[in-house]
Every structure is written in C-alpha cells, then in structure tokens.
Amino acid sequence: MSDTRITSPTFADVTRDVARTLEPPGNLYFSWMSVVALILTAGILAWAGQVWWGMGMAGKRVPQMWAMYITSFVFWIGIGHAGTLISAILYLFRARWRTSIYRAAEAMTIFAVMTAGLFPLIHAGRMWFAYYLLPYPNQRSLWPNFRSPLVWDVFAISTYLSISTVFFIVGLIPDIAALRDVSSGWRRRIYAMLALGWEGADSQWRHYRRAYGLLASLATPLVLSVHSVVSWDFAMALVPGWHSTLFAPFFVDGAIFSGFAMVLILILPMRHFFGLHAYIQEKHLDAMGKLILVTGLLLTYFYVCEIFTSLYSGDDIEKASLFWKVTKTYAWALWLMYFCNCVSPLILFSKRARTSPSVLYVVSILVLIGMWFERFNIIVPSLGHDFYPYTWGIYYPSPTDTMIVVGSFAWFFLLFLGFIRVMPSLSVVEVKETLPPPMRDKTHAGHR
Amino acid sequence: MTIFWSLVAAAGAVAFLGGARSDDARAVWSIYLVNLVFWSGLAVTGPAIAAMMQLTEARWSPSVRRIALTTAGFLPAAFVLFLVLVAGQTTLYPWVTTPVVAKQAWLNAPFFWLRTIAGAAALFGTALGLVRALVRDAVPPDDAGERARRNRLAVALLFLWVIGVSLWGFDLVMSLDPAWYSGLFGGYFVVSTLYIGFCLLSLLTIRANARGQASIPPAAVQDVAKLQFAMSIMWMYFFWSQYLVIWYGNVPVETRFFVTRFFTQPWLTLAWLVFVVGWLIPFAYLLKRLTGRPPQRHAPLVVISVFGLVAIFLERVLVVFPSVTPSARLPFGARDLAITAGFLALFVLSRRWFFSQFKPVINLPHTGH
C-alpha cells in the first residue's frame, strides 16, 4: 500500500488499533500456534531422548563437542542485539522512526536471550549441574575459573537479560495503563495490576522519563559488551580461525545485522495481519533496509580483513585452516554464508527493494540463514581442522540435535506469538508523541 | 598571518629535508609518517563525516556539515606528501631491502606504492568531488536527480574512505614491523581517525560561532560532542578488543608489539598519557556534559577536543616509532617539533586556500532536530 494513501491516525485511532490486536484471535492464529507447538514438542522429545540416552545422540564427538548447540547459542544471543540497539541507542540519538517497531524489537530481545539460554543447559547434558557455572560459595571450594571467558559469558548475558527485561517492563507501563482504561472484566484487573497505579500525572511522567533515559544509557554499552564477551569465548583460544583481534566488533556487527533481519521477519507479518500500515510505514522499512545494508557491508569488510590476516600472517597453520574452510568438507557452508551475508543484502541499495515487504522478507530470511552458518563456520570447521592431524574430525548433524535446534525456533516464535496477543506490540505512548496533538478548533491545526 | 604560517611551513620543510639526509633519517621519516597519516586522516575525514550526514539525511545542522567539508583543502597537498613518502621507503620499511618471503605477494614495493598512491588519488578525488557538490548551493535543492547524484558520491566516498584509511593502517603503519599483525588494525585506524575527525569538527564549529561566521545553536554543538563521545568509546573499544585478545593469547609474535610499548620506557609513560588525555578525561567530561542541558559555554569542549587530537597524534607516535627507530627516544626534539609545526601550518594554509577558492557559506539556517 502506498504511504501517500495513508492518512495520519488520531490519538483515538492509536489506542483502538493497538487494543484490537489483543482481541480474541481467529483460526489462522491458532493454526500457526499449533504448528509451532507441534515443532516445539518434537524438539522437547528429542531433548528428552538426549537426556535419557546421552550426548552421543546429538552427534557430539571429539573434536566437535560444541557443534550445533553453541552455534545456535551464539546465533540467538546475536538476534537479541537489534532490540537493544533500536530501543536504547536509537532512543538516545532521537531517531523517531523507531517508535513503531521498538516494542516488538524489545520483546524479541528478551525471547531471543531466553532461547539462547537454553543451549548451554542442553549442551551441558546433565543440566541439573548447570548451577556450577554460577559463582557461589560452597564447602568444596568449587569456584568457577574467573579467567575463563565462559564465566564472563554468564555475567554478560545475565546482566543483559536483566537490563533488557527491566527496560522492556518500564516502557510498557504507560501502554498497559492505556489498555486498562479501554478494557473490562478480568483483563482490566490484570492490566490494572501491571500498570502499577499509572495515572499519567506530571510527576509520574517526570520519573518515567528519567528512568527510561537512565536505562537506555545503561543498556547502550551492553550492545557492545555482550557479544564481545561471547566472541572472546573463541578469540582467547589459540585455535586457528578463532584467535583473531577482529572477533569482538565482527561479532557485534553480525549480531546487529541478524537482529534487524529477525525484527523484519516479525514485524512484516504483524503489519500485514494487524493492518498496521499507518504505523509501520514505508519509511520505517526503508530505514530498516538501510541498516541491514550498512551492517551487511561492514560484515563483508570484516570477512575480507579476516581472510587478509590469515594470508598476511604468513602462518602456515592459519593458511591451511582457511584453505580447508574454503575448499573442503564444509566449503558449501562458507560459500552459502558469503552469498547470504555479503551478496543478498546488496539488493537493498535500491530504494524500491528497501520499501518492498516481500523483498525485505526474502533478504531477511537469507540473512538469518547466513548468520546461523557464520557461527557454524566459525565453530565446526575450525575445531575440525586445527594444529595436529590426529585431532582432525568431521561432524555430521544428528536428527536429535537438528530437531532441538529447530525446536528452539519454535520456542522463540511461540513466545512471540503469545506476546503479541497479551501485550501491546506497538508503543501507544510513543506513537502518539509522533502525531500532531488533537485540537479543539481544527482550523488552527496548521498553526502549531 | 598567512606569512607567518608560510614561514612555519617552510621551516618545517627545511627541517625535514635536512634531517632526511642526516644519520637520524629513521626518526625524521618516522615523524613525517606520523604527521602524514594524522593530517591526511583529518583532511579526508571531514568530507567523510559530511557524506555520513548526507546519507542519513541529518537535518540537525547544515552549518556543521558545511564546516566538515572545509578540511578538504589539505587533500591536494596531502597527495603530494604521499608521493614524497616513496623516497623514504628504504628507511622506513625493512621488507623493501630484506623481503619477507611469506608475505612478498602483498609486501612488495611496486604493488605497495601502486595501492597507496592510486588509493589516495581515488579517495582524495572523490572527496573533492563530494565537496564541490555539497558546497555549491546554500540550500540543497529538492531535486531528486541531484540528490541521488550526491548520495552516490557519498556512498563512493565512504567506501573509499574505509578501505583507504584501513590500508594506511595495515600498510603504512603495520608493515613497519612486518612480523607483527592484527586483523583489527585497519578498523582501529579508521575508528581512531574518525574520533579525531569529530574532535576537529567540534573545534571548528565552536570557532565558526566565535568568529561570527555561523550561529550554530548549543543543541547542535552538543550533538557534535555526542558523536565525539561515541567515537571516543569506539576507539577505546577497538583498542581493548585487540589488546585483550593478544594479552590473553600470549603468542610471542603478537605480544612483542605491546610489550615494547606498554612495558618499557619511555613508551610506557607515553601510553598512559595517551590513555588519560585521549580517553579518560574526555570520557569523564563528555559524560557529565551530555547528561545535562546543552551548555552555552564551550571552553571545556575546546580543551577536550584538543586533548583528543594531541592524544591520537601521540598514539601515532607510539605505534610508529618503536617499530622503526632502535633508539628509545621520544620524538620531541626541535626538529621533530619543526616538522610537526610545518604540517600544521600547511593544514591551516590549505584551509585558507579552500575558503578563498570555494567561498563556502557557513551561516546556514538551522532547521532544527
């Protein structure tokens, strides 16, 4: 739909349109939920099988012990980044186009981190010992090794989840109050409880704005820190293909890249099915397309630097590792990654492509495929071909770990599909702030 | 003042020419290289910032964008100075006289100078092209074709800027010690150059207001300070990303770069100076400044911006000198200062030439945020 035909909504339209998304859903919604729940069930069954019969079910053998689970862990952590970037950094930079999409992006962040958090537990095998990761005093002095980046991960990710959740909840308060005012019955009681007594008083707004700005400032460094720490899980080791100074910014950029793609995967159907064209306009799609293009180009820059460093280093092992990745067993995965991450976003140089939902959707899917394979290419081929030939090995996915990874997508989408039916997926307050205020006398509306 | 700056530039040239033929040629060429990458980086980053503002449709201050363009006056001089660098190749780059077999495909003199000189020509030419396009009209026209042309130029410039400045890092600086390598060094060079680009932009913006050439509101100055703050953090982040990985990995070929600079004098003191002056103090001040209302007085921001510029200059000294000169001597002698002052004078004169040539209107209407 062309934006020129869309009339600017009024304050009442915004509240009504958002409230409409929370009405009892139709059959289409339940069909999707059923499909997603079915896939999730298959994933849970596969996981139960792995717990019962052991990690061999997941194809985990030396040297490929990390394989698909850590690939997916890094992938999902990365997905969460765009939410924080959109909600915090773009807020601080006063990029007002974020208003229509940031709520969905924030929810995505939390659900993505929750999904990522499953994988260390699944990968531990005996997940009832996962608490060993936490620094707790105990009589056996089993303190975690603080010099291990894996422990840094625990702190980085738990901080990220905490700040993102608080940020998300604080941002929801005025919107929940708006929903409370237009709902009735048990819904009204629940919304009233969650709105924490919000009345929209001046003093409440003052405190709200201060808290929101403070949380945005706290969340901003996390965009850099979390994925940097995740990247150091690899870069600190001396494994060829891992030990690289590039990794921290390279991971952060890739995370933002994939996160934006996932935001589009989520908001484009929302826009279509909820009829939110007046709020998620072509200019929003255009801006998102530009960000995907820029982060994709930066990623290409990092890929080139990575290859350059391997060749420039003069290190035979590094060069052999690169050669193996480019030409041998997993070469298809590497070239697929280059196509998806470097070539496919180039179409977004065209404004027509950036404002076409179908093109954006296809590019976003390709980007997600490419970014999952980027993590696969870092983990699997590097571990499979390091210093000594006797430690080399090939990894083949098993039905169990494949089903668990597919199930993680179902888990993520189940959470998101649930969210959009119980909470406002569009920020009522911030969207209203971007609209002209209502005037008693419309003849003066042009003289604001 | 033009006569004064011309005399300073001439004195710098004499100091350089005399020194390049002395026993201390390594130190002289090193300070030349430091100045070359520092001032050329500043000159080309102004138009690059304007290109970013063009592409992001930044409307918060057209005057600031116009001011950013004015650093481009140094680009023709910078190109000549790049050509002069070829004469110092045997003094600066050990791989020219003693080839490193494993890296010869990349580190060989013909290819090295081809990409350096051709890269500089393409980068500077595109920057000047964008400057001509953006400086021409007081108010950019609502002409879609012209806008698309400007956007194309801006995209081309940003591509060339990232690749070109990265190659300055990899080639001109990293290859001074051909055994050492860091994949992020090119990106680090880009980010640190962008940091000083914003430091200079803050200075020039405040100066334009003080001289009555423009009336840029405090909010727009604050926005430049915000970007300066963001880039100072990015600079330290890129540094830390390299340092931590190399320190943790503890591979001799990598660590020796930092061992020389951070664990032996006099470089250790210089490294701390760079950290405190270039990052710690600016970070603390800018954090405080950005949490309040935009102040009307900008004297502290001027000081902080000068700190940033001086610190990155010293950081360039820190990365270049220990790789080239065996003597652990800080390059703050009379000759070093004369050469540096010569580059500064040339930069000032070039900017004056730019104003006389292009006559840019700086005082553009502020269109708000």
Higher pLDDT, A102 or B183: B183
Percent helix, percent strand, percent coil in chain A, to nearest 5? 75, 0, 25
Mean predicted confidence (pLDDT) in A282-305? 92
Higher pLDDT, A23 or A416: A416
ipTM associated with this complex: 0.92
Establish if B276 belongs to a structural domain: yes
B166 touches chain A (CB under 8 A): yes
Q: Which residues of B touch A254 (CB under 8 A)?
A: none
* Ramachandran sector of residue B290 (left: φ over 0; alpha: ψ -120 to 50; beta: rest): alpha
Partner-chain contact A246 B183, CB within 8 Å: yes
A300 touches chain B (CB under 8 A): no
Query: Which residue has 């186009």 as its token pair?
Result: A97
Residue A446, pLDDT > 50, answer no
Enter the tokens of residue B5. Answer: 């700056």
Mutate to test the interface with B, among A146, A224, A245, A346 (most CBs of B within 10 A): A245
Please tell me the distance from the alpha carbon of residue A318 to that of residue A320, in angstroms, as a whole number: 5
Q: What percent of chain B shows pLDDT beyond 90?
A: 59
Q: How far is B153 from chain A, CA to nearest CA, in Å?
A: 14
Domains held by chain B: number: 1
Smallest CA–CA distance from B177 into chain A, residue: A313
pLDDT per position as a tens digit, B4-56: 989 999 999 999 988 888 888 889 999 999 999 999 999 999 999 999 988 88
Per-residue pLDDT at A448: 39
Q: Say if residue A135 is preceded by a cis peptide, omega within 30 of 0.
A: no
Residue A388, pLDDT > 60, answer yes
Establish if B367 belongs to a structural domain: no
Q: How far is B360 from chain A, CA to nearest CA, in Å?
A: 28
Mutate to test the interface with A, among B245, B246, B283, B288 (most CBs of A within 10 A): B245
Residue A439, pLDDT > 70, answer no
pLDDT per position as a tens digit, A18-70: 777 777 778 888 899 999 999 999 999 999 999 999 888 888 778 888 888 99
Question: Which of A:72-101 have CB within 8 Å of B?
Answer: 93-94
Q: How far is A206 from chain B, CA to nearest CA, in Å?
A: 15
B307 is in which domain, residue-wise? 2-358
Establish if B364 belongs to a structural domain: no
Per-residue pLDDT at B310: 95
Per-residue pLDDT at B83: 94
Per-residue pLDDT band for A4 (boundaries 50, 70, 90) equals very low
Query: Which residue has 């980085």 as its token pair?
Result: A156
Residue A442, pLDDT > 70, answer no
Q: How far is B179 from chain A, CA to nearest CA, in Å?
A: 8
Task: Please enumerate in sequence order all residues whose Cβ is within 8 A of that of B183, keeping only pairs 6 or more positions apart, or say none.
Answer: A244, A245, A246, A305, A306, A308, A309
Partner-chain contact B184 A246, CB within 8 Å: yes
Establish if B343 belongs to a structural domain: yes
Mean predicted confidence (pLDDT) in B248-259? 90
pLDDT per position as a tens digit, A168-205: 888 888 888 888 887 778 888 888 888 888 887 888 88
Hey, where are the domains in chain A?
3-437
Establish if B217 belongs to a structural domain: yes
Inter-chain Cβ pairs, chain A and chain B, closer than 8 A = 69
Establish if B306 belongs to a structural domain: yes
Of B105, B238, B369, nearest to A249 by CB-CB distance is: B238
pLDDT per position as a tens digit, A256-286: 999 999 999 998 998 888 888 878 888 889 9
**Domain A3-437's class?**
mainly alpha
Q: Please give the full DSSP string across B130-177, using - where no structure is assigned.
A: HHHHHHS-SS----HHHHHHHHHHHHHHHHHHHHHHHHIIIIIIGGGS
pLDDT per position as a tens digit, A197-209: 888 788 888 888 8
pLDDT per position as a tens digit, B268-320: 999 999 999 999 999 998 888 877 777 878 888 999 999 999 999 999 999 99
Q: How far is A309 from chain B, CA to nearest CA, in Å?
A: 5
